[in-house]
Amino acid sequence: MAFEVIMPKAGIDMTEGQIVKWLKQEGDQVTEGEIILEIMTDKTSMEIEAEVSGTLLKILRQDGETVPVTEVIGYIGQPGDSLETLSEEDVPAPKPVAEEKPLASIADDSYHVAVIGGGPAGYFAAIRAAQLGAKVAIVEKKVFGGTCLNVGCIPTKTYLKNAEIIEAIEIAAGRGIKFDSTKYSIDMEKVVGFKDSVVKKLTMGVEVLLKSNGVDIFRGVGKINKNKDVVVNGSQIIKADKIILAGGSKVSKINIPGIDNPRILSSDEILSLKEVPETLTIIGGGVIGIEMALAMHAIGSKITVVEMMDRIVPAIDAEASKFLADTLKKKGIKILTSVSIVGIEERGNKLQVKLANGEVIESDKALLSIGRVPDLDGIGEVEFETERGKIKVDPYMETSIKGIYAPGDVNGIKMLAHVAFRMGEVAAENAVKGNHRTVKLASVPSVVYTSPEVAMVGLTEAQAREQYENIRVGRFDFAANGRALASGDNHGFVKVIADDKYGEILGVHIVGPSAAEIINQASSMMELEITVDEVVKTIYGHPTYSEALYEAFADVLGESIHVPRKKK
């Protein structure tokens, strides 16, 4: 049987490539590893090697042709084979190239795509659909950018930068930098004002992008009626061939006595406080709770975190969670785990948070941070198939109602802004061009923007041991990294988990400096299915924090130069 030569997928977003030139002709002998043709993508040109030795039996796609990825473009037979010695079954006929269907014509007052929600999934979907030639409308009830930009990721990072600056001042003397005084005070008016200015600049930027791509903007609450039209503010009707419901998420609440006390703030509200609470109880030790614990601690609050699970940020690797908890405790943040709250009362101008073990925590305010749930306000009169308050979607992001897609937090699959970006993009392409592209989430990174930063991609060590018969674990501490030592930021480690048989990368976990940036390298490696052996062939720049990643991979193979030799 002939060996297929295919158009390679040389990148996560590559969908097609152009054949520049075949360097071999039909009937020529080729050797494994020999360059047989050149291709060009939208980003680069590449040389394609023969994967087997033999005879180039058939060229199906010629120089200059643009071909979708994974499509067969030629066949290589066994050494000595010729076109005459192989039957037609041995060399299948080329697949017909599908013609791209033009967009359907619509009425002047209608749209190809209507998007509900201007958060990460929504505005990404609207812009991508417009790029594909669709006439697009988007409905937003508040401000563009969604939770992440307005009350989540971005504003939180402005506060965490303040924490980083304060910490740098405190350790400056140890590096030989002396101030006349290291005393400082916090002007919350300016803190909030700076945060608001960053948010405003970005939200305005999103709106500019939408307008520049010709997307029509509607202000108000959008809901879907029984005719599958989008109704804005209960009266204005938007007709569209396809609908993308990207309503995002809202703050989750718990049903315990006293939870509605005005002193209990949501993660949406705490970032607008103009006065720093002297004491603050954080209910929930997940990503948001722990990030806010560090941010509020830095500007003067005495923090207690209450988490009902046995560790903080339970989704990350157990070793990383313990390291983070120990570090935060050293900073003076009190962390209580494996405990639940039974009630909250206000007494003497203070909140009393009562725990199931009988302990009472007293504080000026509390932050409710137990996560977020899908915001399903946009559903309206349509009955979607749901599961535990989440809209069910297929791999194309399409709901149980044909022609309606639901990317982002509303489907509850993985509630991260960068996942919503990709889901929105995929939903738009499928809505405009027909279902052809799916979302792959195995290589999605997650980050906790604490000090030190924590980042992960793939499986935890516990998950890997459950799913694989044999694994190997490599580890490298930042304490042995030259850049980290020079920067005085040498706390933490990189941990790599790999399959013992094939060297497949199963998971990467980082606690330490620039973890949020380094993890993207690991994510790319996993997406491109690079093995541990291939990673260690790469030369990393020195001195860099990223060298810790390389050393951890080398340690998987027992080849790390800067890890003390383990006693057998």
The reported pLDDT for the residue numbered 148 is 86
The reported pLDDT for the residue numbered 97 is 46
Rounded Cα gap, residues 267 and 480, in angstroms = 37
3-77 and 445-556 in the same fold: no
The reported pLDDT for the residue numbered 121 is 97
How big, in percent rounded to 5, are the helix, strand and coil portions of the chain? 30, 25, 45
Name the nearest CA neighbour of 76 among 95, 50, 47: 50
The reported pLDDT for the residue numbered 98 is 45
Neighbouring CB atoms inside 10 A of 259's CB total 15
Q: Which positions are annotated as active-site residues? A: 542
Tell me 484's DSSP state. H
Q: Tokens at residue 443, please?
A: 């290589």
Q: If you write DSSP's letter for every residue of 530-562 in order, what string do you get? A: -BHHHHTTSPPPSS-TTHHHHHHHHHHTT--TT
Going from N- to C-terminal start, the domains of the chain cover 3-77, 110-250+374-433, 264-370, 445-556
C-alpha distances (whole Å) from 225 to each of 41, 237, 463 are: 43, 9, 43
The reported pLDDT for the residue numbered 503 is 92
CATH number, span 110-250+374-433: 3.50.50.60
Name the nearest CA neighbour of 250 among 389, 384, 365, 137: 389
Contacts of 100 (CB under 8 A, 6+ apart): 433
The reported pLDDT for the residue numbered 91 is 53
CATH number, span 445-556: 3.30.390.30
SS3 call for 238:
strand
Q: If you write DSSP's letter for every residue of 12-28 in order, what string do you get? A: TT--EEEEEEESS-TT-
Q: Which CATH superfamily is domain 264-370 in?
A: FAD/NAD(P)-binding domain (3.50.50.60)
Q: Tokens at residue 171, please?
A: 């350790």
Contacts of 306 (CB under 8 A, 6+ apart): 281, 282, 283, 284, 285, 336, 339, 341, 353, 355, 361
Burial class of 466 by CB neighbour count within 10 A (0 to 12, 13 to 18, 19+): exposed
Per-residue pLDDT tens digits of the chain, which is 568 residues long? 678 899 887 655 577 889 999 999 998 999 988 999 999 876 567 888 888 888 998 999 999 999 998 899 999 988 666 655 655 555 555 545 445 567 888 888 899 999 999 999 999 999 999 999 999 999 999 999 998 888 888 999 999 999 999 989 888 989 999 998 888 899 999 999 999 999 999 999 999 999 999 999 999 999 999 999 999 999 999 999 999 999 999 988 889 999 999 999 988 789 889 999 999 999 999 999 999 999 999 999 999 999 999 999 999 999 999 999 999 999 999 999 999 999 999 998 999 999 999 999 999 999 999 989 999 999 999 999 999 999 999 999 999 999 999 999 999 999 999 999 999 999 999 999 999 999 989 999 999 999 999 999 999 999 999 999 999 999 999 999 999 999 999 999 999 999 998 899 999 999 999 999 999 999 999 999 999 999 999 999 999 999 999 999 999 999 999 998 876 6
Q: What CATH fold (topology level) applies to the domain 3-77?
A: OB fold (Dihydrolipoamide Acetyltransferase, E2P) (2.40.50)
Alpha helix (H) residue ranges in 221-299: 287-298
Query: Which residue type is seen at 467?
Result: Q
The reported pLDDT for the residue numbered 10 is 67
Q: If you write DSSP's letter for every residue of 99-140 in order, what string do you get? A: PPPPPPP--TTEEEEEEE--SHHHHHHHHHHHHTT--EEEEE
Neighbouring CB atoms inside 10 A of 152's CB total 21
Name the nearest CA neighbour of 446 among 552, 548, 369, 519: 519
Task: Work out whether strand 279-283 and strand 264-266 pair parallel, antiparallel, or are unpaired.
Answer: unpaired
Strand partners, 264: 366
Compute the C-alpha angle 456/458/460, nearest 5°.
75
This prediction has a pTM of 0.80
The reported pLDDT for the residue numbered 109 is 87
SS3 call for 274:
coil
Task: Work out whether strand 390-391 and strand 386-387 pair parallel, antiparallel, or are unpaired.
Answer: antiparallel
